[in-house]
Amino acid sequence: MRVLVTGASGFLGRAVAAEIAAAGHEVRTFQRRASGVPGVADVLGSVTAPDEVGRAAAGMDAVVHLAAKVSLAGRPADFEAVNVGGTRTLLAAATDAGATRFVFVSSPSVAHAGASIVGSGADPADPSRARGHYARTKAQAELLALGADSASLHVVAVRPHLVWGPGDTQLVARIVDRARRGRLPLLGHGAALIDTTYVDNAASAIAAALERADAVHGHSYVVTNGEPRPVAELLAGMCRAAGVPAPAWRVPAGVARGAGSLIEAAWRIRSGADEPPMTRFLAEQLSTAHWFDQRRTRAELRWAPAVSLDEGFRRLAAAYGR
């Protein structure tokens, strides 16, 4: 197949493009800067520019859409333009190009209303209850994508949860930086069970959804390693791999949520492009359980993770030279 992968300059997008290319497909990537993936053809542009999107999608048999605005802060209009508008534009371009498969890379946050998630599957995306601009607009975009599923364009949504690994500048780098500066507390008792996904497993699951799109289209799938661990253990494993101290102090979860709301309000009126150190959504994510039933995902995508969490921690430590 000729496959367009958007957002391939990002951590997960780069791994997905490499995975699909390694399977023997012809891969074109589309993003604002070079992907750095060997053997693919980069096309530079923005998902908010219809002409650029149309040129990127021309001649493609399939699209894997990862490009998104991912942030804890920012103007609502920017999230709308990239996450919702960009998805709408790409769906139209894929249809015009005659593509027959479309994999939308989503997030479990599209169905999260703030409470613990204990053994759930892929509940329906719900923009009205999603927490924060990112989750709300990704929920809108997922509904938009699945709404375009048809006999001629098979659409699948894949929701990897907390993707991490060597080279991760979002989750791992932030945890390590805060731990190094002594600013990484445990929220509550640190016992909440959380599923995460090693990057190679997330990439192979998305590639599996592409291969299986004809059979599983119209559905959403949450993807994780299927190894829920206490959040304190996960944070300690990442810190140990990087050679920094694990969290040694605690903040009550309710206090963190309240502080997150106040910090969010302050960030809305201050200048600067940096992200707030805490938000209510982040506090909820770090203090409530998030683990998922993976039986349907594995059976229908005919996929299983190849890299365990412990092996992932070993690879992460090697990347830090330890």
Residues labelled as active-site residues: 134
How would you classify the pairing of strands 154-160 and 117-120? unpaired
Q: Which phi-psi region, left, alpha or beta, contains residue 321 (left: φ > 0; alpha: ψ -120 to 50)? A: left
Give φ, ψ of 181 to 5 degrees.
Answer: -95, 5
